Amino acid sequence: MATLAHRLPLPRVPRAAAVRHLGPNWYATVMGTSIVAGAGAALPVRIPGLRTGCAAVWALSLLMLLVLLVARALHWTHHADQARAHLLDPAVAPFYGCLAMALVSVGGGTAVLGGDWLGRAPAVALATALFLAGTVTGLAVAVAVPYLMVVHHKVDAASPVWLLPVVSPMVSAALGPLLVPHLPPGQAQRTLLVACYGMFGLSLLATLVVLPLVFGRLVTGEPLPLALTPTLFLVLGPLGQSTTAAGNLAAAAGPGMPYATGLAVVYGVPVMGFALLWLALAGAMVLRARRRGMGFTMAWWAFTFPVGTCVTGAEGLARHTGLAALSWLAVGLYVLLVAAWLTAAVRTARGLAGGALLAAPRVPGRATVRTR
């Protein structure tokens, strides 16, 4: 009997059972880690060992990305039913934007910090590959997820997670200029710049459509459920990232676009002001939810990447204006970012060790798909 048991084939599904409930929202951990590295490397202050530490965090984000890509491939291979259910769930499908942003954000970190570990040429090649993969994915998600929302999803109220698919092209617009110096002068550089400006406009206009729906839901409806309150920080993403994009595009444009710097400042300062207003509002809502018993969920990673985009936005404004106040704003926001990242990372590690974060949901949600 023992010999026969050893000859029987092992079941395939249990090998990947741990990833059955691994959703696309896990890419937010990569985004939050990579922005700590990229934003830290661009801080307008010199701190001994800061760049080395940021390079180490970038390497960690790259490793996390590779592990998650493998795990998600196993998810699609062994649990295709669950993967399709995620696409048809309006609460989960928008998180596919996190895949695109994870690829591009790690690519941006590679362009800035990867040369310290990999060498310049390999780092540029890897950054380019990640940027292209993330940009293509982001543009596809920006179309596919709204299509699913219109045709298949049934939603009761607007959610901040709706911003995730449409903000991913803005991440490409913000980090694409980092690759401009590595392209041949002339058509290649101008084409990339124009493409980034196009993605800037695409994402900005889509955000202007979604954001009023989110704010209207907050004002006219009830507050978000306690567990979803951290998603209010997602609104900071398009605000900070668009300010970053405007600044990086102006820096990459050079003398060929003499008004780009002025436009970046005129756009970025008011948007950064609104971002700080929203940060205060969202922070107050989180404190309220915490007092009412809000516990840790993966939504806490919303405290990282969106705040990081405000850091990079403030850094760009500081460079273009020379104002010390903006430099100190970037430093203060970066301290907040690191604190949020450490908290989310420690809580996530504990949840993984205990198995709670990858366990099946305790209570199945109600139907969220139209039947046609």
Look at residue 259 and give its three-state secondary structure: coil
| Residue range 270-282, pLDDT digits in tens | 999 999 999 999 9
Distance (Å, whole) CA 208 – CA 359? 36
| Residue range 313-332, pLDDT digits in tens | 999 999 999 999 999 999 99
Candidate from 50-54, 77-81, 220-224 with smallest mean pLDDT:
220-224
Q: Report yes or no on 244 lying in a domain.
A: yes
Q: Report yes or no on 2 lying in a domain.
A: no
Q: Report yes or no on 367 lying in a domain.
A: no
Distance (Å, whole) CA 252 – CA 182? 11
Does the pTM of the predicted model rise above 0.85?
A: yes
Look at residue 244 and tell me whether its pLDDT is greater than 70: yes
Query: What is the arithmetic mean of pLDDT over 36-55?
Result: 94
Q: Are 39 and 308 in contact (CB under 8 A)?
A: yes
Domain count across the chain: 1
Look at residue 372 and tell me whether its pLDDT is greater than 80: no
Using alpha carbons, select from 131, 138, 114 the residue that is nearest to residue 183. 131
| Residue range 149-196, pLDDT digits in tens | 888 877 778 899 999 999 999 999 999 999 999 999 999 999 999 999
Q: Report yes or no on 4 lying in a domain.
A: no
pLDDT at 362: 62
pLDDT at 10: 40
CATH of the domain at 219: 1.50.10.150
Look at residue 19 and tell me whether its pLDDT is greater than 90: no
Q: Report yes or no on 64 lying in a domain.
A: yes
User: Which range marks the domain in which residue 180 is found?
Assistant: 20-354
Distance (Å, whole) CA 290 – CA 312? 28
